[in-house]
Amino acid sequence: MATLASLILEDGERFRGRLFGANVSVSGEVVFQTGMVGYPEALTDPSYHCQLLTLTYPLIGNYGVPSDKEGEFGLSQWFESSKIHAAALIIGELSEDPSHWSSVKSLDQWLKEHGIPGLQGVDTRCLTKKIREKGTMLGKLVVDGTPEDSIPFDNPDQRNLVQEVSMKEPRVFNPSGSLRITAVDCGIKYNQIRCLAQRGARVTVVPWDHPLDANDFDGLFISNGPGDPQFCQATISNVRKMVSGRLFTHNLLGLFQCNEYLPFLMTQ
């Protein structure tokens, strides 16, 4: 008999479903993705660190999970990082009989191995509409029999998630590349590194707070990542030193982010 669980949102609304993956209760921010494929990549994407990931496509897991095979440039061929970063997976229906030439295990088995719970039987499109209309929303997945009060709503944006997912030491990919790119890892995906290296770049991935020296690279790449960027003051300070300027240059830099400049005239 299937174990039941509930997704409880911070406004009190509940979504009942059947548990798969690990038998644990978790909490975090509820987010959604609308892609038809790509659940192995999404689950291992550091941008979803500590989030309850909702997938709107109605059937998930039908092509199983591939092996963590090392591919080009020493990067995992199928995953975006070395582990699952999402705290939980919320779906409509789980495929019980996956079939694909690259599959080595089911989605259910993979989540069990990583200690990640999943919830199926949820109207994910209804949930997605709610998130879209209400904005950021916390939630918790509570397995039946677990006291709800024992699982508090956890807001992951109150801590430095970038620090949690970033590499701890610099690492070089495609060392024979002619163009030197330094990539600041704020939650970088393997495919971002791969795309740079495939274009002939020597990619040095550095931690989020690593000091930067313009003499060390020809180009600087700042990755995407999870959480509140206000925690990344070290990154902001390091990058600011790379893009400083005087007089008219400040106007140009300001236009990178908006269309207003001194003397406060709006551009069309």
Domain harbouring 66, CATH code: 3.50.30.20
Same domain, 150 and 176: no
| 126 sits in which H/E element | helix 124-134
Same domain, 198 and 230: yes
Beta strands 51-55 and 26-33, pairing class: parallel
Same domain, 126 and 175: no
Same domain, 198 and 241: yes
CB-based contacts of 117, cutoff 8 Å, min separation 6: 5, 19, 20, 21, 22, 23, 24, 25, 26, 88, 89, 111, 141, 143
The pLDDT profile of the chain, 268 residues, written as one tens digit per residue, is 789 999 999 999 999 999 999 999 999 999 999 999 999 999 999 999 999 999 999 999 999 999 999 999 999 999 999 999 999 999 999 999 999 999 999 999 999 999 999 999 999 999 999 999 998 899 999 999 999 999 999 999 999 999 999 999 999 999 999 999 999 999 999 999 999 999 999 999 999 999 999 999 999 999 999 999 999 999 999 998 887 665 666 666 666 666 554 544 444 4
Q: Where do we find the tokens 């997976």?
A: 89
Whole-model pTM: value is 0.90
Among candidates 145, 45, 25, which has minimal Cα distance to 88?
25
Q: How many CB atoms lie within 10 A of CB 114?
A: 15
Same domain, 122 and 232: no
Same domain, 141 and 178: no
Same domain, 148 and 176: no
| 220 sits in which H/E element | strand 219-222
Per DSSP, the chain holds a count of helices (H) and strands (E) of 7, 17
Same domain, 109 and 180: no
Q: Is 109 helix (H, G, I), strand (E, B) or coil?
A: helix
End-to-end Cα, the chain, rounded Å? 62
Among candidates 24, 33, 30, which has minimal Cα distance to 10?
30
Same domain, 50 and 113: yes
Same domain, 174 and 150: no
What is the extent of the structural domain holding 58? 4-155
Same domain, 177 and 260: yes
Where among 124, 155, 186 does a domain terminate? 155
Domain total of the chain: 2
Asked whether the bond before 170 is cis by omega within 30 degrees of 0, the reply is no
Same domain, 150 and 30: yes
